Structure 1
């Protein structure tokens, strides 16, 4: 497969039809008959393919050399300055490489003298001695008469720089070889190193029969020279040095499309056949997406990102939508974040709450225009065309007079990004766990104008594991800015959904979810002027709640602490949320809700069964409560559930440390509050001794064993003993 991020090395790998240009460039250098130094420039931006063109040029030079006589073959040096650092290091290594290239040519006439002069010349700049191996060989008489110096420097030769260069140029001029020096990656250097390369080419290394091929990003080099010289003459400087400029041929759009299709093939094979819509992809790609890609490296960046993210989200996203969104993420990150943080703008999240009138349309257009303005990659109309395809709601803003059809049901079925239920999934990898952008948070609060909509959004937040973050953001100064007419909706939804949320763990530095909900409800109620209105609001919320029960018990328990003088939360009556009489009425209402759950069979399945039973016992009809427990424990499943609820703490402790604690006996009182333990003993023994016992879960087995052990029941099967 073609790798768009690696340079090619031969014309056989050429997918962009640049071999012809490379041959022409190589022939231009070989056909240059003037012996004076020539500087050829190869201009191209990042990812334009300069290194690939250079490799094709070298291939052509080597091919041409194979048909030349030895005395005519070009001497090629491919120098990469990026491998070296520091001004003197750059000069030193350039001459080291050049000297090495000349020494490797067996058919170079006067080679020993040329190399010596080159080393002598370089020593003037590097301030380093000439290597012993490259000094001229001394005659036997001189070896006997004079002691060889350890270090030999250029200035000790008795000749100045001009004389050395003149003799070197004369010897090179007589050669039939061309010395072709290729310098790539110039744009990657530090500014002062870029200037140093041009000084080498024009002043130090402008030798006879020498041709330089310099590859760089012209704009970047000009900027670097302007910065170094503190002037605006960088362009003139480059034009003065580069005598024969060439631009890397632009990549044909069709070639880019073919390479992109090749790179995407492996990813597309992982997509279920019925999930890929070729017509929709064609609409997205040919109308807008294809203009995002300007070179091969763009393709590599895009495919690498897509390869990583799509494999993790492919089961929850529409592939075409995700391919398009990934292009926005890679090439226009600011636009991507704008989409992510404005869910209400790009989906119909709030369209059932607010009518999209002219005023609202104008405001939404301003918001969308600001996001479009963040784009510096493609013309505005191209990006807008893409967004109109991805987010049909925008057509109501930008094309209100044009008819179009959009089905929210179909969008949800196809997992389109425009569906509010699926929008967040597309950004799952770019958001911190549980994060809610400020714009989305405000949108959610605005939905409190409608009970059903707000209830649904809390359900979605819970499904996305973001409900705790929402409660955290809500439990702040935000509460003081919530419109009065929205308070009842928030209280209703929290009371109705509270049991469904992760409960959390209470600690010195943290609050459980029920306590966090109580704080929010309390602060909302405090914004209501009279206790009668506060009572009516709680009464309505409890009466309407159908999905939660424990949160009601917890809320009224916390409300009671304002009425208890022994509690540090005790408040005078005028500061309480409700009066004592109102609290008692709310308790009776809660007890009736508990009885309703008991009659429908839902109560026994509740994970917080014990505190709910105690609330029923304290606030409602004791006889009915005990009768429920008696009936519940008649069944095997009911008895196991009841013991698991009443002995929850001993079971948890036993699972972590298999050791019986004396204080466990206190939990028998919780059982006795509802039903005598002696009445449960025969049933519990039967379950323990039955083979069915082995099929129970660990917590259920422990519940039975701890109960029988605490009541000291005698069983035919031995109860595993724990140390006291």
Structure 2
């Protein structure tokens, strides 16, 4: 991972933002102060704008001049209390001036006494004495109490002490430049301590100060403490203040791209930021670049991406991800509002007709925290990230979001959570897993192993991963090579009945289950990329080893293309799954497989048995006589009757609508006897009699008895 250093630059050749000419000008101003008396030069700029870099460049240029002042940096923010800050100021002052003060009798002691005055004769006196040490410390008898007398209660006034120190400094040729960087990093009280010290004891001959701070922030601190003076307080201290020039936005953008491009490199040498992706480019120019106002903004966002992108690389849309990270860092209130509003942001507009009041409420929720000058831009950003908002705010609607899901956009419900938890939810299929399955689609063992593992894994929401894997492969069906479509379908058709698990069946008003998902995948692989003859050949070939229940579903689907239900029109031939001739072959294959399964006893263990029996009767051409003969023989077997009972026991879901908005919030499950029209495949009277006899006599024990009782109860329930 790249190490994006936030350290300020130190040499002109490192300057990327045009700071050096400004720093040269500041250096010339300081050199022009031949006899400063506590003169103060200030550099104004917001946090992270490059003030420290400019100060380093000023020091660099001063170092090139023979008679430049001695530079003394004071790291004020190292001292985390007001008292420690006062002591630290005197420590730095004495360390820089002691050689010159030693040349004048009493000057050093006078500076120490001034320190005592600032210490107020209290707990800091010991610390002040420790700063000066030497002859002064040797005069201390009896600890701090004696020091108080030596420093504070002498005959000399504060003005006299100040005069003695001043005379000593005025008599020597050296000039001193004390630099206090990032004054605005201190607490308000600490910043005021530094300003008071500079204004009072710090106003010495041949001494100048270079300060850097955020002018707006510092003036507010002063105004809050000294409301009668306000900005005039600083004007009395600072003789020359300079606003840091703003970096060229193009330079900031270039620096950002240089820092993040290594993060977005792919293993094949490409980049996640490459490609003709207008959406990505629009986001960079509207959502990302405008937030990069200072070099530190660039470093903050680049450092954040250096950590977070690696966790979701390839699993999210890069433009959406960087834009959302920019919101997280620079617009945290908007970020939190987006995260809390998923149900109103993801997906397409559909029938989402919102009133004007609702649209305004949503706008206030999402961007109410944004300053007015930025509000329209952030609104545009959110509409780019969530096209559904275009219906709310600009009357533009979308009917399909499949491309958004495939691109793993933030606006898709399948991928929304990934952007916020920085990892794939357990129900989301990773891009590499999809790519591997598409790449190895021609390997039946690999395909079947992948789906069987998915069936065995339950994810959040109670479904298996198989349902999500089928949906993901439908989205990425184009990634399966033409030559691999037939072996891929062959492998899937063979395990199709294993995919029909109850966990993946739709609840309440839903219709999707893995049978439907497999149909959608089949059509995406064949109907949308093959001509009829080739499609028909592939489907017929893949069906030869298909699981029996799936073979029935496929046959009825292909049959429905030519012979739809009453009131519907047949498909045009080019939109049919198979040719008419291959449909006959598919029906013949299904009937042959049914008769074989009935003969060897495996039919009884086949999933969705009742539906299979109806399909057998539909295609057999004998009005169901063969099916009824088989079920009649099965009803004679005590062990087989519970199996038939389970086959005819269905589930219904009901949800009370209620009154006054008090309808049921969840659907209620109940048993349903699937016996309507069953006389075509089974003798209902014989079936019911066998159920009643077996449950009454207890001839069958355990769960099988409970299944039969449930079917009888549902069968005998009043019809509503």
Distance 1:325 1:38 in 2: 47
* Structure 2 residue 113 is matched with structure 1 residue 120: yes
- Deviation of the 1:465 alpha carbon: 3.8
- Of residues 275, 278, 292 in structure 2, which corresponds to 1:277? 275
Contact kept? 1:292, 1:377, Cα under 8 Å: no
Q: Which residue of 1 aligns with 2:602?
A: none
CA-to-aligned-CA distance 1:371-426 (integer Å, 9 cap, x gap): 1223349612222222233233333333337xx88853322222222333333332
- Deviation of the 1:170 alpha carbon: 2.2
Contact kept? 2:347, 2:412, Cα under 8 Å: yes
Q: Which residue of 1 aligns with 2:308?
A: 309
Q: Which residue of 1 aligns with 2:293?
A: 294
Contact kept? 1:4, 1:297, Cα under 8 Å: no
Following superposition of structure 1 onto structure 2, how do residues 55-70 of structure 1 map, counting pairs within 5 Å? 55-64=56-65, 67-68=66-67
Contact kept? 2:288, 2:322, Cα under 8 Å: no
Q: Is the deviation greater in 295-304 or in 126-135?
A: 126-135
SS of 1:213's equivalent in the other structure is strand
Q: Which residue of 2 aligns with 1:253?
A: 249
Distance 1:427 1:192 in 2: 38
Contact kept? 2:72, 2:179, Cα under 8 Å: yes
Distance 1:380 1:32 in 2: 47
Contact kept? 1:119, 1:134, Cα under 8 Å: no
Q: Which residue of 2 aligns with 1:383?
A: 378
Distance 2:93 2:25 in 1: 25
* Structure 2 residue 161 is matched with structure 1 residue 167: no
SS of 2:204's equivalent in the other structure is coil
Distance 1:80 1:263 in 2: 29
- Deviation of the 1:267 alpha carbon: 0.9
Q: Which residue of 2 aligns with 1:16?
A: 17
TM-score, reference length from structure 1: 0.56
Distance 1:542 1:341 in 2: 45
Contact kept? 1:317, 1:425, Cα under 8 Å: yes
For the structure 1 residues 33 and 315, does the alpha-carbon distance in structure 2 shift closer, same or farther, using more than 3 Å as the test?
closer
Contact kept? 1:542, 1:589, Cα under 8 Å: no
Contact kept? 2:281, 2:319, Cα under 8 Å: no
Q: Which residue of 2 aligns with 1:135?
A: 135
Distance 1:326 1:137 in 2: 57
Q: Which residue of 2 aligns with 1:398?
A: 393
Q: Give the aligned length.
A: 472
* Structure 2 residue 235 is matched with structure 1 residue 242: no
Distance 1:373 1:2 in 2: 36
* Structure 2 residue 260 is matched with structure 1 residue 267: no
Distance 1:246 1:557 in 2: 81
Q: Which residue of 1 aligns with 2:622?
A: none
For the structure 1 residues 274 and 137, does the alpha-carbon distance in structure 2 shift closer, same or farther, using more than 3 Å as the test?
closer
Q: Which residue of 2 aligns with 1:42?
A: 43
- Of residues 400, 407, 412 in structure 2, which corresponds to 1:414? 407
Contact kept? 1:543, 1:589, Cα under 8 Å: no
Distance 1:104 1:544 in 2: 103
Distance 1:544 1:63 in 2: 93
- Deviation of the 1:261 alpha carbon: 1.0
* Structure 2 residue 53 is matched with structure 1 residue 76: no
Contact kept? 1:40, 1:245, Cα under 8 Å: yes
Contact kept? 1:43, 1:247, Cα under 8 Å: yes
- Deviation of the 1:253 alpha carbon: 0.6
Contact kept? 2:181, 2:213, Cα under 8 Å: yes
What do you get for the CA RMSD once the two structures are aligned? 4.9
Where do 5+ consecutive residues of structure 1 fail to align? 143-148, 435-459, 470-488, 501-540, 560-576, 594-611, 622-724
Q: Which residue of 2 aligns with 1:423?
A: 416
SS of 2:16's equivalent in the other structure is coil
Contact kept? 1:109, 1:175, Cα under 8 Å: no
CA-to-aligned-CA distance 1:17-57 (integer Å, 9 cap, x gap): 21211121121111023443211222222112222221211
Contact kept? 2:348, 2:398, Cα under 8 Å: no
For the structure 1 residues 150 and 228, does the alpha-carbon distance in structure 2 shift closer, same or farther, using more than 3 Å as the test?
closer
For the structure 1 residues 2 and 102, does the alpha-carbon distance in structure 2 shift closer, same or farther, using more than 3 Å as the test?
farther
Q: Is the deviation greater in 336-345 or in 269-278?
A: 269-278
Contact kept? 1:10, 1:59, Cα under 8 Å: yes
CA-to-aligned-CA distance 1:482-536 (integer Å, 9 cap, x gap): xxxxxxx954659989xx9xxxxxxxxxxxxxxxxxxxxxxxxxxxxxxxxxxxx
SS of 2:234's equivalent in the other structure is helix
SS of 1:291's equivalent in the other structure is helix
For the structure 1 residues 109 and 495, does the alpha-carbon distance in structure 2 shift closer, same or farther, using more than 3 Å as the test?
closer
Following superposition of structure 1 onto structure 2, how do residues 454-493 of structure 1 map, counting pairs within 5 Å? 465-467=459-461, 491=508
For the structure 1 residues 43 and 264, does the alpha-carbon distance in structure 2 shift closer, same or farther, using more than 3 Å as the test?
same
Contact kept? 2:383, 2:390, Cα under 8 Å: yes
For the structure 1 residues 178 and 274, does the alpha-carbon distance in structure 2 shift closer, same or farther, using more than 3 Å as the test?
closer
SS of 1:420's equivalent in the other structure is coil
For the structure 1 residues 191 and 293, does the alpha-carbon distance in structure 2 shift closer, same or farther, using more than 3 Å as the test?
same
Distance 2:213 2:707 in 1: 83
Contact kept? 1:587, 1:619, Cα under 8 Å: no
For the structure 1 residues 236 and 587, does the alpha-carbon distance in structure 2 shift closer, same or farther, using more than 3 Å as the test?
farther
- Of residues 368, 373, 376 in structure 2, which corresponds to 1:373? 368
For the structure 1 residues 421 and 3, does the alpha-carbon distance in structure 2 shift closer, same or farther, using more than 3 Å as the test?
closer
For the structure 1 residues 165 and 13, does the alpha-carbon distance in structure 2 shift closer, same or farther, using more than 3 Å as the test?
same
SS of 1:46's equivalent in the other structure is coil
Distance 1:428 1:293 in 2: 25
Distance 1:271 1:84 in 2: 48
SS of 2:256's equivalent in the other structure is helix
Where do 5+ consecutive residues of structure 2 fail to align? 140-144, 428-453, 464-505, 518-607, 613-641, 653-667, 682-699, 710-720
Q: Which residue of 1 aligns with 2:34?
A: 33
For the structure 1 residues 35 and 186, does the alpha-carbon distance in structure 2 shift closer, same or farther, using more than 3 Å as the test?
closer
Following superposition of structure 1 onto structure 2, how do residues 684-703 of structure 1 map, counting pairs within 5 Å? none
Q: Which residue of 2 aligns with 1:158?
A: 155
SS of 1:196's equivalent in the other structure is helix
Contact kept? 1:349, 1:420, Cα under 8 Å: no
* Structure 2 residue 341 is matched with structure 1 residue 342: yes
For the structure 1 residues 271 and 304, does the alpha-carbon distance in structure 2 shift closer, same or farther, using more than 3 Å as the test?
farther
CA-to-aligned-CA distance 1:57-77 (integer Å, 9 cap, x gap): 12222222xx33xxxx41221
